[in-house]
Amino acid sequence: MEDSYRHKGLRRALVDRLRERGIRDERVLDAISTVPRHFFLDSVFDRVAYEDRAFPIGEGQTISQPYTVACQTELLKVEPFQKVLEIGTGSAYQACVLAQMKARVFTIERQRKLFDTNRNFPYIQQFPSLQLFFGDGFHGLPTFAPFDKVIITAAAPEIPPLLVEQLRPGGMMVIPVNESADVQRMMRLTKRADGSLQEERFETFSFVPMLEGRK
Ligand code: SAH
């Protein structure tokens, strides 16, 4: 795959749009201007890869809209070398944006086909700090806990208790929680020293569902 001047120009225009829509964190914008989003999409979407839209990636799943990725990443306040757990690898675009920001990324996907595709995805190999897991994200990764940050990129029916457990004190979780069948409220939960959660509420979004079990 090629990252041409045209692609780079389209990426710059996308970053300008994200700025207009209110994304302020320059580290997030830098990562989005670096990671070639068209690599994560089927080549039929090449011409539209830098539109601010979600696209299908197979298995009934989607690559999140760039604004959604930018917004969740900004809310997560990622610092270099932090351990970040992502639920819902999907195309691995969000995971690569986090890895580009020098996070140590642990990402879980419940669909075998998507997991296998990502395992054979050459672009990902440049990030030794990005690890892919096949499993049910509701369980998290107890052996790698605690995490500084947890990001959930599918619509959660509720706040998964096992993921709260795997967050270190002072750590944050960014999670879209169902308000109705197809609307989620973006929430940021900060774990206090006593284990309780401080909750902040942001805009609403529309994600594919977070489902139990693997397939
Ligand atoms: N972060 C992705 C967004 C993918 S869409 C990206 O950048 O492209 C959400 C993904 O979450 C889908 O691939 C879906 O299969 C996965 N998913 C849903 N429930 C899950 C669960 N319990 N554990 C792990 N992955 C899950």
pLDDT digits (tens, 9 = 90+) for 172-191: 999 999 999 899 999 999 99
Reduced to 3 states (helix: H, G, I; strand: E, B; else coil), residue 150 is strand
Residue recorded with tokens 């940021």: 188
Distance 5 CA to ligand 1 centre (A): 31
Q: Which residues pair with 199 in a beta bridge?
A: 189
To the nearest whole percent, how much of the chain has pLDDT over 70? 100
Tokens 């977070």: give the residue: 210
What is the CATH number assigned to the segment(s) 57-205?
3.40.50.150
Is it true that the peptide bond before 56 is cis, omega within 30 degrees of 0? no
Closest ligand 1 atom to 91 CA: 8
Give the distance, in angstroms, between the CA of residue 189 and the centroid of all CA atoms in the same chain.
16
Report the C-alpha gap between 145 and 142 in whole angstroms.
Answer: 5
Q: Which residues lie below 8 Å from residue 45, measured CB to CB, with a gap of 6+?
A: 38, 55
Residues catalogued as catalytic: 64
Which residues in the chain show pLDDT less than 70?
A: none
Pairing verdict, β 55-58 and 61-63: antiparallel
- Beta strands 147-152 and 130-134 are unpaired
Reduced to 3 DSSP states, what percent helix, strand and coil does the chain have, rounded to the nearest 5?
Answer: 35, 30, 35
Q: Name every protein residue with a CB atom under 6 angstroms from any ligand 1 atom.
A: 61-64, 87-88, 90-91, 93-94, 108-111, 114, 136-138, 153-154, 208, 210-211
Which residue, chain included where needed, has tokens 């979780």?
Answer: 173
Mean pLDDT, the chain, integer: 97
